[in-house]
Structure 1
Amino acid sequence: MSKQFINGIRIRHWAMIASLAGFCFLTMPVNAQNAAPEKTSITNIDSDAVENLFFSALKEKTVDNNAGAADIFNKILVLDPQNDAALYELANIKKKENKFTEAQPLLEKAVTIKPDNEWYWSSLADIYEKANQIDKLENVFTQLIRLNPDKVDYYYDQGNAYFIQGRYDEALKLYDQVEQITGPNDDLIIARQKIYLKEGKLDKAAVGLEQMIASNPNQIKYYLLLAEIYTSNNATDKAFKVLSQAKAIEPNNPMIHLGLADIYRSKKDINSSFAELKIAFANPDLNIDQKVRIMMGYFPKFSEPNAKNGALASALELSKIIVDTHPNEAKGYALYGDLLVQSEKYPEAKDAYSKSVALNGQIYETREQLVRLELGSNDIEGVIRDGESALSFFPNQGWMNYYVGSAWLQKKDYQKALSYLKSAVAVEFQDKDLLSLTFSQMGDCYHAMQDNKNSDDSYEKSLSYSPDNKYTLNNYAYYLSLRGEQLDKAAAMAKHANELEVNNASFEDTYAWILFKQKNYKDAKVWMEKAQTDNKNKSAVQTEHYGDILFYLGDADGAVQYWKKAKEYGATSPVLDRKINEKKYIE
């Protein structure tokens, strides 16, 4: 325990035996090689029965039949209530089942019967620690020290029990005993420091490390520990002096530069702090995981004003250093990709994610980020290639199935699109946004396949998960209007889509067209003019629709003029030619 216990009591789980047979001879109450404990209430016949039962219990335990083993150990205790080995074994089974309150009295009885068994006391200490019965640990460690006075871990354990109880002087006396056994060492320094710092005795906490530095002037770890004590107690000037001494010895040690970065940051010298960080990050000896943890501290700052030229720019530069320093680490490229996305450098982010996936394809999140970017940049081939590759590793990911289905929809391969979209809804049951989007895409597929019933059903399911899915509202409304069906419902959906997103030319065009179908030509003209104003590109469809509206408002010449413009913008419908030639609206 010792070092681990310093950071919070944690009792060791001792290796109990070198072999099963050896253990049996050590613990069994009756055997040929060791003298049996004195027993006055058990007959020879009962002793034989106990011995046979004990072997049977151990056999069940070796095949992980803990319930069967526990049952046999209980039978032994009926025959021989003082059988300490059975008490101990049964207690260990209870501990494995996390039944610590049941294990405790068994072990307490075992140590009463056989007070010189180190394993029993050690197991009991584990129970008391889990139950946070710190007051009872003192006697346990006293007994363990009595049984094994050269085992320093027990002194540390008892010292930390004292520390938790605030009995600092008694803990320090124990550490003095340890020093008599081991001499000065790092564990003792840390243990004593913990007490001195708790008591606010900074100078005393520093003394041990200063002595170690004097004895070992080239051991950088002592400088770092001393600087950390000073820094954590706001003695930054002293910390800076110590780190400067260390830097003179090992100028390339990355931990020294991290320590200096912390000090400069505490002094609000951001430029110097960042310069030290860059030196540390450029050192391959500094573990990449530690670098990533440091980077995580930047993320909360990205929402601050001017973050793009401040925290985000710094984080991006550091992440670039990481990938340059660790070119074979997938996590470095994934982090770099995330920061490039934050910086809106999407092509570079795609490249970073691609490198990360190539190095380690087992991280789903990185694959999804890559496919998202590909879909956002309309790289449909990339979505299909990388999305299908991701699904070969992670077939039950709903979003990935949706992305690939969407890509096949854009390629107008509706059967393939439907297969992926159906997989998405088959594996996802809770994400309403995903379900709504997926059923909306399925509606588009079925419409393209002229399967109106399944198309309408899919749109209805989409809206059942998200009544405000504006794309579903728009598309469903438009396709109903094309069929001249449920125009009032279509108008209501189209209007709501425009309420959800204003100045969307496509949505405005849909609403205008439905109003046209309802013969509300005046309002249709208003909405179509909005669509033409908000459309940054010249739309042949909207232009033709505007001509249709003008015709029914009595402006046939104006209608022909816009029909001709629609043809110029790329419309190729034979109906459009008839409209122009015959100067009238044709359905």
Structure 2
Amino acid sequence: MILRNKHFLLSSFHFDLIRFRFNGRYFPSSVFCLLSVLLISSCKTTESSTAYKIPDAKVNDVIGEDPKQTEFENTFLEGKKQEILGNADKALAIYRDLLKQQPENDVVNFQIGNILYAQHKYLDALPYLKISVKQNPSNKYYEQLYAELLNHTGNPKGAAGVYEYLSKQSPNDVDYLFNYAYFLSLTGDFQKAIDTYNKIESQVGVSEDLSMAKQQLYMKLGKKQAAIDEIQKLSDANPGEAHYLAMLADLYTGLGQNDKAMEVIEKLGKADPNNAQAQLSLAAFYRKNGEDEKYFEAMKNVFASRDMNIDTKIKVLLEYLQYLNDEKRKTEALALGKILVDTHPNEAKAHAMYADVMNQLSMDVPALEEYQKALKVDDSKFTVWQQVLILESSLNLKDSLLHDAQRCLEIFPNQGLPHYMIGVSNLQNKKYNEALSEFSQAIMIGSDDKVIMSQLYSGLGDVYAGMKKNTSSDSCYELALTYDEGNTHVMNNYAYQLSLRGEKLDKAVSLITKALAKNPDDAGYLDTYGWILYKQKKYSEAKTQIEKSLQHGGEKDPAISEHYG
């Protein structure tokens, strides 16, 4: 639905940042502030020849004659000053004091209502606007805010009534008619809303806003042919706009009128054989009818078109992500992703989207390559950096990880992930002091995600273990498990460190058996369990567990082979 000029709040840090529309012209609100003072002396105003409403009294009749009135005006100005400074509560207090002197003052009531509206206190604001409207019904800004408050307090019918009144007062102002139709639609009076949109159309001509609004309302009324006619009229009025023919085809498709849809699509194709919008409509038609092969062929044409908006293509690929377990969909997604980057090689989001598809499919190396291409085009997106660092870590690319984490940190100094990754790199290289600094910085930055905090404290525990600061190491592991009690990585590392020290072996057994309950075939966990049993002098059981570790890939780890020996 369409709503025009809804927002007209007066509260701002600077008057000149707010502008009001009068008869198609805009004026800074500093003018409004001056005129507000003039309005104070008289609740009743008349329409002047200017855009603003000025009371019948002359300026000299208002200012300087009555000391009490001058004091009132000065106090009002102080209230406006507090509004500008962002002190809404102080402004409210000042205005409410003024109401004790003039409880029916329309301007002061409006100011209070306007501040409460900005604070989303709609029910509280409503009584003040009722007074403003009652005292000065010809002030359209009072009426507009009053309508907005009525709507927010569950009375769209009342809001429609306000705009009906305003549209009668200013029959050539189509904004009032737009808002009247909008609120009519909220009340469920769809036909009357359509009639109002038709009235606007008679003044401004056929437009997409109007036709779309009417089409939606006709559909709600069950008048399908009228909805079709509305989009047909829009297309006829704009013969050069293929977009409207595509809309018509989509509407026919949605209504199950496939023959009609195909006629429109063919017409669109003949008018512009290379039109990507036509191919998109054709794809939608084939998809609706379950013709998957034809859908994919049409979609390839869409993706190969430089005229089609890249965001439309990305939206299509995003839909594919949830179906990648299907082999056919997987193949199609990869093909479309490749076409996307070939068509838009200088668009970072094209490379990032293609990388997302491959990342979902655990194609780590090519995914990393595409994310890196995205960064070459635009290195300002932290989410892309995040994927690069995570993939480099999982691929054990130590040098690349350290280099890219440092680059990322230069651009995003307040992000914890690059600190964490630099810490991991230093830990792997046994640079414990440097690692300690990075993990500590990442923890200080913090995260609302408990799993991430668990990983950070786990890394810090590993650092302290390397520094032989066992008490600190154990405390960090305990904190990590407090954040995420199911973190099997922490359980394993904690248990292994205890086994190396030959301390608290019963606790070590408890930790590793919990980890194995979740990951029974993990070679590293099996080796840890075997080593704990070895430390407990349960040699036969230890041998069994380490043999299991070797059977599940542990033979590739020299440390596990050494334990077995």
TM-score tier after normalising by the smaller chain length: 0.7 to 0.9
Equivalent residue runs for 1:96-495 within 5 Å: 96-303=118-325, 307=326, 309-428=327-446, 431-465=449-483, 469-490=487-508, 493=511
Whole-angstrom distance in 1 between the partners of 2:470 and 2:213: 76
Aligned amino acid, residue 418 of structure 1: L
CA drift at 1:339: 0.9
Per-residue CA shift, 1:29-50, capped at 9, x if unaligned? Answer: 449985239x9xxx95554444
Whole-angstrom distance in 1 between the partners of 2:431 and 2:370: 30
The structure-2 alpha-carbon separation of the partners of 1:412 and 1:207, relative to structure 1 and needing over 3 Å to count, comes to same
Structure 2 match to 1:91: 113
Whole-angstrom distance in 1 between the partners of 2:449 and 2:142: 52
8 Å Cα contact 1:443-1:458 kept in structure 2? yes
8 Å Cα contact 1:77-1:86 kept in structure 2? yes
The structure-2 alpha-carbon separation of the partners of 1:110 and 1:485, relative to structure 1 and needing over 3 Å to count, comes to closer
The structure-2 alpha-carbon separation of the partners of 1:465 and 1:118, relative to structure 1 and needing over 3 Å to count, comes to closer
User: Secondary structure at 2:555's aligned position in 1?
Assistant: coil
Per-residue CA shift, 1:360-384, capped at 9, x if unaligned? Answer: 3332221121111111111001111
Whole-angstrom distance in 2 between the partners of 1:186 and 1:438: 53
The structure-2 alpha-carbon separation of the partners of 1:364 and 1:50, relative to structure 1 and needing over 3 Å to count, comes to same
The structure-2 alpha-carbon separation of the partners of 1:540 and 1:132, relative to structure 1 and needing over 3 Å to count, comes to closer
The structure-2 alpha-carbon separation of the partners of 1:79 and 1:484, relative to structure 1 and needing over 3 Å to count, comes to closer
Structure 2 match to 1:18: 27
User: Secondary structure at 2:396's aligned position in 1?
Assistant: coil
My pick for the range that moved more, 263-272 or 517-526, is 517-526
Whole-angstrom distance in 2 between the partners of 1:462 and 1:68: 47
8 Å Cα contact 1:435-1:462 kept in structure 2? yes
Aligned match for 2:2, one of 4, 15, 20:
4
Whole-angstrom distance in 1 between the partners of 2:217 and 2:484: 59
The structure-2 alpha-carbon separation of the partners of 1:528 and 1:294, relative to structure 1 and needing over 3 Å to count, comes to closer
CA drift at 1:176: 4.0
8 Å Cα contact 2:150-2:158 kept in structure 1? yes
CA drift at 1:344: 2.9
My pick for the range that moved more, 27-36 or 241-250, is 27-36
Structure 1 match to 2:39: 28
CA drift at 1:315: 1.8
Aligned amino acid, residue 4 of structure 1: I
The structure-2 alpha-carbon separation of the partners of 1:237 and 1:518, relative to structure 1 and needing over 3 Å to count, comes to same
Whole-angstrom distance in 2 between the partners of 1:203 and 1:88: 46
User: Secondary structure at 2:240's aligned position in 1?
Assistant: coil
Aligned amino acid, residue 324 of structure 1: D
Which protein is bigger by CA-based radius of gyration? 1
User: Secondary structure at 1:297's aligned position in 2?
Assistant: helix
Whole-angstrom distance in 2 between the partners of 1:99 and 1:48: 31
Whole-angstrom distance in 2 between the partners of 1:489 and 1:25: 78
Show structure 2 runs of 5+ residues with no match: 9-18, 43-47, 49-53
Per-residue CA shift, 1:102-156, capped at 9, x if unaligned? Answer: 3222222222222222222122122122223122123211221122110112222
Aligned amino acid, residue 27 of structure 2: A
TM-score (norm 2): 0.83
CA drift at 1:238: 1.4
Whole-angstrom distance in 2 between the partners of 1:30 and 1:545: 94
Whole-angstrom distance in 1 between the partners of 2:512 and 2:407: 38
Per-residue CA shift, 1:73-123, capped at 9, x if unaligned? Answer: 334433333432222233222222222223222222222222222222122
Whole-angstrom distance in 2 between the partners of 1:221 and 1:163: 26
User: Secondary structure at 2:369's aligned position in 1?
Assistant: helix
Query: Over aligned residues, Cα RMSD in angstroms?
Result: 3.4
User: Secondary structure at 1:15's aligned position in 2?
Assistant: strand
User: Secondary structure at 1:18's aligned position in 2?
Assistant: strand
Whole-angstrom distance in 1 between the partners of 2:233 and 2:557: 82
User: Secondary structure at 1:157's aligned position in 2?
Assistant: helix
My pick for the range that moved more, 109-118 or 258-267, is 109-118
The structure-2 alpha-carbon separation of the partners of 1:518 and 1:70, relative to structure 1 and needing over 3 Å to count, comes to closer
CA drift at 1:497: 5.1
User: Secondary structure at 1:143's aligned position in 2?
Assistant: helix
Per-residue CA shift, 1:558-582, capped at 9, x if unaligned? Answer: xxxxxxxxxxxxxxxxxxxxxxxxx
Structure 2 match to 1:579: none
CA drift at 1:208: 3.5
8 Å Cα contact 2:106-2:136 kept in structure 1? yes
The sequence identity of aligned pairs, in percent, is: 31
8 Å Cα contact 2:41-2:69 kept in structure 1? yes
Aligned amino acid, residue 15 of structure 1: F
Whole-angstrom distance in 1 between the partners of 2:124 and 2:27: 27
Whole-angstrom distance in 2 between the partners of 1:465 and 1:59: 48
8 Å Cα contact 1:10-1:129 kept in structure 2? no
Show structure 1 runs of 5+ residues with no match: 548-587
Whole-angstrom distance in 1 between the partners of 2:79 and 2:557: 84
CA drift at 1:442: 3.8
8 Å Cα contact 2:481-2:487 kept in structure 1? yes
CA drift at 1:405: 1.8
Per-residue CA shift, 1:257-310, capped at 9, x if unaligned? Answer: 22111111001011111222222222233222222222221122124xxx2x32
8 Å Cα contact 2:460-2:476 kept in structure 1? yes
Count residues with an aligned counterpart: 534
Whole-angstrom distance in 1 between the partners of 2:158 and 2:342: 55
CA drift at 1:519: 3.9
The structure-2 alpha-carbon separation of the partners of 1:238 and 1:452, relative to structure 1 and needing over 3 Å to count, comes to same
The structure-2 alpha-carbon separation of the partners of 1:301 and 1:517, relative to structure 1 and needing over 3 Å to count, comes to closer
Aligned amino acid, residue 11 of structure 1: K
Whole-angstrom distance in 2 between the partners of 1:480 and 1:59: 66
The structure-2 alpha-carbon separation of the partners of 1:234 and 1:451, relative to structure 1 and needing over 3 Å to count, comes to same
Structure 1 match to 2:13: none
Whole-angstrom distance in 2 between the partners of 1:254 and 1:392: 41
Whole-angstrom distance in 2 between the partners of 1:534 and 1:185: 67
My pick for the range that moved more, 475-484 or 185-194, is 475-484
The structure-2 alpha-carbon separation of the partners of 1:163 and 1:469, relative to structure 1 and needing over 3 Å to count, comes to closer
User: Secondary structure at 1:127's aligned position in 2?
Assistant: helix
8 Å Cα contact 1:350-1:373 kept in structure 2? yes
The structure-2 alpha-carbon separation of the partners of 1:530 and 1:340, relative to structure 1 and needing over 3 Å to count, comes to closer
8 Å Cα contact 1:160-1:171 kept in structure 2? yes
Aligned amino acid, residue 74 of structure 1: R
The structure-2 alpha-carbon separation of the partners of 1:539 and 1:319, relative to structure 1 and needing over 3 Å to count, comes to closer
